[in-house]
A and B are shown apart, each in its own frame.
Chain A
Amino acid sequence: MSESSAPTTQRITLAKAINLGLRAALEGDPKVMLMGEDIGMLGGVFRVTDGLQKDFGPDRVVDTPLAESGIVGTAIGLALRGYRPVCEIQFDGFIFPAFDQITTQLAKMRYRSRGRLSLPVVIRVPFGGGIGAVEHHSESPEVLFAHTAGLRVVSPATPSDAFTMIQEAIASPDPVLFFEPKGRYWDKAEVDLTATSGAGLDAARVARVGTDVTVVAHGPTVATALRAAAAAATQGTSIEVVDLRTISPLDTATIAASVRKTGRCVVVHEAPVLYGTGAEVAARITEECFFSLEAPVLRVGGFHSPYPVARLEHEYLPSLDRVLDAVDRAMAM
């Protein structure tokens, strides 16, 4: 076997894929630095930054004081000085102390400086439920940021996307909210470890081709949608799964192309349905392909209640059954 055909792929978890993506970024650009709580010696509470401080030192992999606004606020200053900080927010529900810095400062600096200032800051957020955590440890706040102009909001669903998207997010001149599906951290897949980029930060992808119903998902619900598609196939229903990958900007073109083909659409996410990603997708699909629709766009997601106690979260999360129920309703109309 020649050297060029040596295998470059490895079967790794989504968490390890992000770890290796961060490592590649740290190796590739001396201005890249990581900052967050417990990311150094401990390697992060999910071990996503495992081993990085040991290899890149405490000035590039920084254990910060326990202060989320401080993490993002100082990252803004570092970015103004030419650094590319990658902040870790330990859990989704702890991002709110930093919400002000993210929405009033990080998102708007380029705009209000008329392009003179650039803030290439990445904020990594382990998000979503299904791991039996206590309160504030299982939230899905992605649309709060997608609603803010100036931010890019993305969420990888696979180890392969996690590996390339984290590198693309760090390379982006815009601030990126990088939502990591923590319930999928241990999912494994083959990843090409030589890839520095993939499909980009702006494109959705068709994760499974189908003809009857389009199921749109992102992050942790992509796997749920794929399981639903496999189950539906045994009943003779062909589901096409679109993995959004990006929540802002929304890749309406890819979704619309799928819906024009299938005529039906179900949007699935863990965040509450009210004013959620599904509302945006449904509105845009209605505007763009009204005459291709055979049924209203349906939504499956969380309820308009605070995230429930862990013993009830599987009733709150969009389950295989709830997705299939929505698919059946769409097919019946």
Chain B
Amino acid sequence: MNEPDLVQLLTHTGERVDHPDYSPRVAHLDPEALRGLYRDMVLVRRFDTEATALQRQGELGLFPPALGQEAAQVGSGRALAAQDYVFPSYREHGVAHTRGVDLVDVLRQFRGVDHGGWDPREHNFHLYTLVIGSHTLHATGYAMGLQRDGLVGSGDPTRDAAVVAYFGDGATSQGDTNEAFVFAAVNNAPVVLFCQNNQWAISEPTERQSRVPLVERGKGFGVPSVRVDGNDVLACYAVTAEALERARSGGGPTFIEAYTYRMGAHTTSDDPTRYRSAAEEEHWRRRDPIDRLRTHLTAIGELSQQVEDEIAADAEALGVRVRAEVHAMATPSTRVMFEHVYAGPNAVVDAERAWFEQYEESFTDVPAGTEVPR
């Protein structure tokens, strides 16, 4: 396979490289901003580690780790404006963090106490979608709504908005994702289709999804496409910023293939040692997105031991809080089963709720010595 070039601004050994189109997109990121990106990634990884441990200890039913994908998620997420809207898949913990979602809330679904966990409109971050690719269409429709609302190409950067759909390499095989490309293209919708190609769809490598590099696929739909080093937080920031600007200004959709690697399992249910080699994992470990930025910041003298220690302490505090708050998540009332199925009264739901309440009450303990009427 003839591999297309990756947009890269930070080599895997931590050296800054220039790119004529994309370097200007990160020129404003001062050392403080870079430390912020570093901090984001460290926090997200600590969350990931804690959640994985919680699953192993039986506190979560399942967890999909984002380990290794921090740069793709934090870089793209930090390029978003407040008014942009995100449709995540189910692994976008790093993006959730950049949108201000409390990472504890992300675990409500995996704890089995909620099907959502946060207010999507409060963060402009939709609920996780577990059916692969479904949300790429929701994102495209939402973007068509922004067009109709006059929030595209008005020239006011504080008003104009765009949408990002996050999905994986496996999702590119789904009909819905392909339909999203069609709808996005013919409607010139302000949507960024952001694929994190983490090389594996559970146990199937990308070669089982496509005969060509994924980025090539966008061109067939007439969607400008770019492949970025997904472990380079600066490059991910830059290509996303460019795509968002094009979308907001009326230039239509963009497809981004962030070439990255899932270092952990697909979910805590699978065992990567059954389907991939230790050598492959080692190859990618040397391309760790966090190490890369740390090396760079250290080399330019912008990451003191003291700051690193502070960030590590913050991460540890997050881990401790996640653990405590997950333990404290209570099983919801059975009443929840019957709530919000429909907007208003529904004869079937209401009758079933009434029956179930009566059934539950029949188990109410009767104080000793009480005469039970027959």
| Interface residue ranges, A against B (CB under 8 Å) | 33, 59, 64-65, 67, 69-70, 72-83, 97, 100-101, 104-105, 108-118, 149-150, 152, 172-174, 202, 248-253
Q: Which residue of A lies closest to B121 (CB)?
A: A116
Chain B 85-114, CB-CB to A under 8 Å as 1, else 0, gives 001000000000000000000000000001
Contacting A at CB under 8 A, from B230-264, are none
Min CB distance, B278 to chain A, in Å? 37
CB < 8 Å neighbour of B140 from A77, A172, A173, A253: A77
Given contacts A77-B144, A78-B144, A101-B134, contact A172 B343 (CB under 8 A): yes
Min CB distance, B207 to chain A, in Å? 26
Does B335 lie at the interface of the complex (its beta carbon under 8 Å from any beta carbon of A)? no
Interface size on B, residues (CB 8 A): 42
Min CB distance, A66 to chain B, in Å? 9
A112 touches B116 (CB 8 A): yes
Point out the residues of chain A lying under 8 angstroms from B120, CB to CB.
Answer: 113, 116-117
B141 touches A77 (CB 8 A): yes
Point out the residues of chain B lying under 8 angstroms from A75, CB to CB.
Answer: 141
Q: Which residue of B lies closest to A64 (CB)?
A: B183
Does B326 lie at the interface of the complex (its beta carbon under 8 Å from any beta carbon of A)? no
Chain B 140-157, CB-CB to A under 8 Å as 1, else 0, gives 111111101100000000
Min CB distance, B120 to chain A, in Å? 7
**How many residue pairs at the A-B interface have CB separations less than 8 Å?**
141
CB < 8 Å neighbour of A249 from B137, B149, B347: B347
CB < 8 Å neighbour of B176 from A69, A109, A112: A69
Does B43 lie at the interface of the complex (its beta carbon under 8 Å from any beta carbon of A)? no
A249 touches B348 (CB 8 A): yes
Q: Which residue of B lies closest to A107 (CB)?
A: B341
Min CB distance, B166 to chain A, in Å? 15
Q: Which residue of A lies closest to B129 (CB)?
A: A105
Q: Which residue of B lies closest to A248 (CB)?
A: B348
Point out the residues of chain B lying under 8 angstroms from A33, CB to CB.
Answer: 148
Min CB distance, A72 to chain B, in Å? 8
A110 touches B340 (CB 8 A): yes
Given contacts A65-B186, A80-B138, contact A59 B148 (CB under 8 A): yes
Given contacts A77-B145, A97-B175, A100-B134, contact A112 B115 (CB under 8 A): yes
Min CB distance, A307 to chain B, in Å? 24
Min CB distance, A201 to chain B, in Å? 10
Given contacts A81-B149, A83-B145, A152-B342, contact A70 B137 (CB under 8 A): yes
Does B78 lie at the interface of the complex (its beta carbon under 8 Å from any beta carbon of A)? no
Contacting A at CB under 8 A, from B131-190, are 131, 134, 136-146, 148-149, 175-176, 179-180, 182-183, 186
CB < 8 Å neighbour of B138 from A73, A249, A252: A73
Min CB distance, B106 to chain A, in Å? 14
Does B370 lie at the interface of the complex (its beta carbon under 8 Å from any beta carbon of A)? no
Does B346 lie at the interface of the complex (its beta carbon under 8 Å from any beta carbon of A)? yes
Min CB distance, B221 to chain A, in Å? 11
Bound Cα distance A251, B127 (Å): 33
Bound Cα distance A108, B144 (Å): 22
Bound Cα distance A149, B340 (Å): 11
A67 touches B138 (CB 8 A): no
Bound Cα distance A57, B362 (Å): 59
Q: Which residue of B lies closest to A202 (CB)?
A: B347
Point out the residues of chain B lying under 8 angstroms from A172, CB to CB.
Answer: 343
A80 touches B142 (CB 8 A): yes
Point out the residues of chain A lying under 8 angstroms from B134, CB to CB.
Answer: 73, 100-101, 104-105
B145 touches A81 (CB 8 A): yes
Point out the residues of chain B lying under 8 angstroms from A83, CB to CB.
Answer: 145, 148
CB < 8 Å neighbour of A115 from B176, B180, B340: B340
A78 touches B176 (CB 8 A): no
Does B325 lie at the interface of the complex (its beta carbon under 8 Å from any beta carbon of A)? no
B115 touches A111 (CB 8 A): yes
Point out the residues of chain B lying under 8 angstroms from A116, CB to CB.
Answer: 116, 119-121
Q: Which residue of B lies closest to A152 (CB)?
A: B342
